[in-house]
Structure 1
């Protein structure tokens, strides 16, 4: 008899003795057979439990590797980390001090606002384009008549204020040399037409700096009577008859 069967028989006998029951009238062979059947039952139960655990593990692995029902339960999308901003590099830059507009590597001379009506600096966006715009006289600070400005490009700042770029047809000598507008940006007509084709609605324009202070024009000083007499000291005078 093996040690395992002996241990099982001993355990059963002790159990019967502890409960005070009378040992069953079984032969040694029947007792051994009963012990063998119990051992088989235990092995079968252990095998079933092991198979169930293996099947569960295989199912988990299949779900993880194959995606399972992740299509029905997608992971939440990452939330945005910030608000959209305008491009760091503008499509055009306006330098009020140098009196130039820089676009695509080209510099166009400009005339900005006069000292009484300075051009506002800041970032602006192109909101509209018109090949010819009738601008009221009060907006141009002219008296008596409106004026048509060609290649009109409207600009708008983030606070809603507007400005514009257009051809300065009434004074084409001003761009690059002096400021004569009411605050808008004037270009030579040919340059305004080229810029009109470069910028689109939504283009970003940076206006930087301030216009240079105009140099005061010197005025001649008044001549005193004494100086006038001195200047005529060498001039011959008419002789009396």
Structure 2
């Protein structure tokens, strides 16, 4: 290596090792500025963190003040159980029994022996039975055969029956004189008996009109 090259490299190295010409006061001033910047950055970072936590709480709680939108409380839904339509409807006030689109006149109980109302079920059927005279508006100590008897019972144990008033077919639809049973004309009772099986549902409503009816003699 030539002497000129060696001298040039030495001068270059020496110039790189020379310290910058900065006074001690300038160095202290720069150090203070760096400390202030670090303190400010730390403070700003802490404030941002607190703000982020507060925002998360507000969002999590649904907000506050007038802008808050609470979720409406849910109410349990009610399931309504609808009763099945009856197979027969009896209106004591109008003295009518309706079944299968057919309306039939009836005679129901006296004021002192009213026909029970409400929903009932057919529990048995007999083509003919013997009843006391009170059932058909006759003296109690007499017995009569009545046809096409359909016995009914409510959930509370109340009973009644639909039957053919063979003793007098002109009474249904005109007078109420039974002991609580529902009397039909014989032909209507037979028609209903043939079409109404056990388990059928019967709705009875209303009350017998207040029409005087003398108790017939034997």
TM over 0.5: yes
Q: Are positions 1:183 and 2:183 aligned together? A: no
Q: Are positions 1:127 and 2:128 aligned together? A: no
Q: Which one of the candidate residues 192, 203, 211 is aligned to 1:206?
A: 203
Which residue is 2:110 aligned to?
114
Deviation of residue 142 (structure 1)?
2.8
SS in 1 for 2:106: strand
Deviation of residue 136 (structure 1)?
3.5
Which residue is 1:97 aligned to?
93
Which residue is 2:51 aligned to?
none
Q: 1:86 to 1:166 in 2, by over 3 A?
A: farther
Deviation of residue 211 (structure 1)?
1.0
TM-score (norm 2): 0.57
SS in 2 for 1:111: coil
Q: What does 1:1-241 align with in structure 2 at a 5 Å threshold?
A: 87-137=83-133, 142-214=139-211
Contact 2:120/2:203, CA 8 A, preserved across alignment: yes
Cα distance in 2 between the residues matched to 1:196 and 1:189:
10
SS in 1 for 2:142: coil
Deviation of residue 148 (structure 1)?
1.1
Which consecutive unaligned segments of at least 5 residues does structure 1 have? 1-80, 218-241
TM-score (norm 1): 0.52
Cα distance in 1 between the residues matched to 2:82 and 2:158:
17
Q: 1:126 to 1:145 in 2, by over 3 A?
A: same
List 4+ stretches of structure 1 deviating above 6 A: none
Q: 1:104 to 1:129 in 2, by over 3 A?
A: same
Cα distance in 2 between the residues matched to 1:139 and 1:192:
16
Which consecutive unaligned segments of at least 5 residues does structure 2 have? 1-77
Which residue is 2:75 aligned to?
none
| Post-superposition CA distance 1:66-87 (Å, at most 9, x none) | xxxxxxxxxxxxxxx98xx784
| Post-superposition CA distance 1:90-110 (Å, at most 9, x none) | 000000001010001110000
Which residue is 2:12 aligned to?
none
* TM-align CA RMSD: 2.5
Cα distance in 2 between the residues matched to 1:86 and 1:190:
34
